[in-house]
């Protein structure tokens, strides 16, 4: 049975200072899947993500999220949609002057009227999901790189969003910490039923977590489909990207 489309990008285009960055980009993201947007450096993957998050104005094409077309939303509708999307930025974007608890609680403080004791309980529960409950009273400067990523992940899910976006979540992590973070992402998808869109160039992560990939080259979609189909697609650029794979057993079934 065909899964529900959560995000539908159609004919997305973008230019900056007269240079075409995206051209006729179309793909879909499906309910309960991890969709990885990938490609070589400068291919446009982060630009696609920023358009989906409305960080860049939509000037060419259409983007529909949870049945709502971005270009047709009022300011209030845009806010309502944004509150249904958790976002994890590459550097974590934690505030150094606040404890882990205060950082994770920020969205709840800003966008709900929940009492403090309930916010505390929710934050503790989310930190437990990312194995960071013990660091609730620590400051970002006291955390390791992997712990910072997990704290940022807890903040991204604190509002129970149905969709989560992650921009290079594994950047700067050692292989062991990267694998641990990937396992957390998989667990969140399975336990919370989240739909996840992830931008990364980490081949090991893609192998572990991807249900579907969108491969970009020079601002265009070169391939869209499952990871397994990508690996046997015969498309030279896609094959070269995954050329580090030597063991067929690593391929996700």
CA distances from 190 to 142, 183, 209 (A): 30, 11, 11
Contacts of 126 (CB under 8 A, 6+ apart): 104, 154, 155, 157, 158
Mean pLDDT of the residues in the chain: 89
Is 217 part of a structural domain of the chain?
yes
Name the domain count of the chain: 1
d(CA 118, CA 80): 22
pLDDT of 39 reads: 86
- Averaged pLDDT, 176-205: 90
Q: Mind listing the pLDDT tens digit for each residue in 136-160?
A: 999 999 998 889 989 999 999 999 9
Confidence of residue 245 (pLDDT cuts 50, 70, 90): low
Residue 221, pLDDT > 60, answer yes
d(CA 160, CA 201): 27
Element (H, E) at 73: none
Residue 49, pLDDT > 60, answer yes
Is 186 part of a structural domain of the chain?
no
pLDDT of 253 reads: 44
pTM over 0.85: yes
Is 43 part of a structural domain of the chain?
yes
Is 89 part of a structural domain of the chain?
no
Is 25 part of a structural domain of the chain?
yes
Residue 243, domain CATH: 3.40.50.300
Residue 222, pLDDT > 90, answer yes
Is 41 part of a structural domain of the chain?
yes
Q: Which domain holds residue 40?
A: 1-84+210-247
Is 156 part of a structural domain of the chain?
no
Q: Mind listing the pLDDT tens digit for each residue in 97-137?
A: 999 999 999 999 999 999 999 999 999 999 999 999 999 99
Is 184 part of a structural domain of the chain?
no
Closest CA to 42 of 57, 64, 20, 27: 20
Residue 174, pLDDT > 80, answer yes
């Amino acid at each position: 049975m065909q899964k529900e489309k959560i995000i539908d990008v159609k004919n997305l285009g973008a230019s900056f200072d007269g240079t075409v960055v995206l051209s006729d980009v179309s793909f879909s993201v499906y309910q309960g899947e991890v969709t990885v947007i990938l490609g070589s450096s400068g291919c446009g993957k982060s630009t696609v993500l920023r358009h989906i998050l409305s960080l860049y104005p939509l000037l060419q094409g259409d983007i529909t999220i949870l049945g709502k077309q971005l270009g047709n939303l009022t300011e209030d509708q845009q806010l309502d949609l944004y509150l249904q999307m958790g976002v994890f930025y590459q550097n974590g974007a934690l505030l150094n002057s606040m404890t882990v608890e205060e950082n994770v609680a920020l969205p709840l403080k800003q966008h709900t009227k929940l009492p403090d004791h309930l916010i505390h309980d929710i934050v503790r529960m989310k930190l437990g999901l990312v194995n960071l409950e013990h660091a609730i009273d620590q400051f970002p400067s006291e955390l390791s790189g992997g712990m910072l990523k997990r704290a940022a992940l807890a903040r991204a899910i604190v509002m129970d969003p149905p969709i989560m976006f992650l921009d290079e979540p594994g950047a700067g992590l050692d292989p062991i910490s990267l694998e641990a973070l990937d396992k957390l992402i998989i667990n969140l998808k399975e336990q919370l039923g989240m739909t996840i869109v992830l931008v990364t160039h980490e081949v090991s992560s893609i192998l572990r977590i991807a249900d579907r990939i969108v491969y970009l080259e020079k601002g265009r979609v070169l391939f869209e489909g499952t990871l397994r189909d990508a690996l046997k697609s015969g498309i030279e650029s896609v094959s070269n990207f995954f050329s580090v794979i030597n063991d067929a057993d690593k391929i996700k079934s």
